[in-house]
């Protein structure tokens, strides 16, 4: 093999490796087969985790508010919640990725709104406006605007909590649980403890229907 061919081969290997690494970190919407292993229930949900509904099938999402794949998954999540209603319990866990500069700040904004009973409203608002705030050097003003729009009552308290460490331990506990479960990218879903990295409607629906059929 000539020297030039060796150089080209080395470059190709590096490019392919980088693409694979990016794919793993950012998540995938493909119909990747779900793992058949059940996750540790003590790491999936904590007593103070954010929950919607009280159905027999639990859908847990480990997500990052700045993650583009999570933003793409959000309409699917909303459709699933609307269609299944009280048949499922939906749980959101924070898993901010280090590559996203505003992910932790956004998680703090969601938690600060949640402290005033507006968590799910802020959760939806952050995803709906992801492109607006995700690349800002300081997204605080955007978060304050969203807090006003969703009806957070004490804006001064909200401002304080997005600027300090009031909710840091909660966010870190979420991520620690995800890491213990083997979460590597976002969004990652668990349907009654069965992991799925796919967020297509068809895949999530199939997994939920399978669990409902076992009840």
Residues 6+ apart with CB under 8 A from 85: 53, 55
Query: H/E element holding 110?
Result: helix 103-114
Percent of the chain clearing pLDDT 90 (strictly above): 78
Q: Can you give the pLDDT at residue 99?
A: 97
Provide the pLDDT confidence category of residue 10 given band limits of 50, 70 and 90.
low
pLDDT tens, residue by residue, 133-156: 999 999 999 999 999 999 999 999
Average of per-residue pLDDT values in the chain: 88
Residues 6+ apart with CB under 8 A from 150: 113, 118, 121, 122, 125
pLDDT of residue 22: 43
**Alpha-carbon gap, residue 98 to 120, rounded angstroms:** 24
Confidence at residue 21, expressed as pLDDT on a 0 to 100 scale: 46
CA nearest 200: which of 20, 24, 32, 21?
A: 32
Residue with tokens 């490796």: 17
Mean pLDDT to the nearest integer, 3-19: 49
Architecture of domain 3-213: 3-Layer(aba) Sandwich (3.40)
Q: CA 129 from chain center: how many Å? A: 15
More confident residue, 95 or 34: 95
- Enumerate residues 6+ apart whose C-beta is below 8 A from 24: 184, 185
Cα-Cα-Cα-Cα dihedral of 156, 158, 162, 164, to 10°? 60
Per-residue pLDDT tens digits for 86-139: 999 999 999 999 999 999 999 999 999 999 999 999 999 999 999 999 999 999
**Would you tell me how many other CB atoms lie within 10 Å of the CB of residue 25?**
15
Q: How far is CA 98 from the centre of its chain?
A: 13
The yes-or-no verdict on residue 35 having pLDDT over 90 is no
Biggest CA pair distance of the chain: 70
CB 39 within 8 A of CB 176: no
Mean pLDDT within 171-195 = 97
Q: What pLDDT, on the 0 to 100 scale, is given for residue 29?
A: 45
Q: How far is Cα 63 from Cα 10, in angstroms, rounded to an integer?
A: 35
* pTM, to two decimals: 0.82
Q: Where are the domains of the chain?
A: 3-213
Phi, psi dihedral angles at 65 (to 5 degrees): -65, -25
18 φ, ψ to 5°? -65, -40
pLDDT recorded at residue 183: 96
Who wins on pLDDT, 27 or 41? 41
Distance CA 72, CA 55 (A): 25
């Amino acid at each position: 093999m000539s020297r030039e061919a060796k150089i080209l081969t080395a470059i190709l290997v590096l490019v392919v490796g980088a693409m694979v690494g990016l794919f793993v970190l950012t998540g995938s919407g493909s119909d990747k087969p779900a793992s058949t292993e059940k996750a540790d229930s003590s790491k999936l949900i904590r007593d103070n985790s954010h929950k919607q509904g009280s159905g027999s099938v639990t859908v847990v999402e480990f997500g990052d508010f700045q993650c583009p794949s999570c933003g793409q998954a959000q309409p699917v999540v909303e459709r699933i919640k609307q269609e299944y209603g009280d048949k499922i319990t939906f749980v959101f866990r924070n898993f901010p990725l280090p590559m996203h500069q505003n992910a932790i700040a956004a998680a703090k904004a969601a938690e600060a709104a949640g402290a005033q009973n507006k968590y799910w409203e802020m959760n939806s608002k952050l995803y709906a406006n992801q492109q607006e705030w995700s690349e800002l050097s300081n997204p605080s003003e955007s978060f304050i605007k969203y807090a006003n729009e969703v009806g957070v009552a004490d804006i001064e308290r909200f401002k304080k909590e997005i600027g300090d460490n009031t909710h840091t331990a909660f966010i870190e506990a979420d991520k620690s649980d995800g890491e213990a479960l083997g979460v590597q990218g976002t969004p990652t879903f668990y349907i009654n403890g069965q992991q799925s990295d796919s967020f297509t409607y068809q895949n999530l629906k199939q997994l939920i229907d399978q669990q409902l059929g076992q009840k």
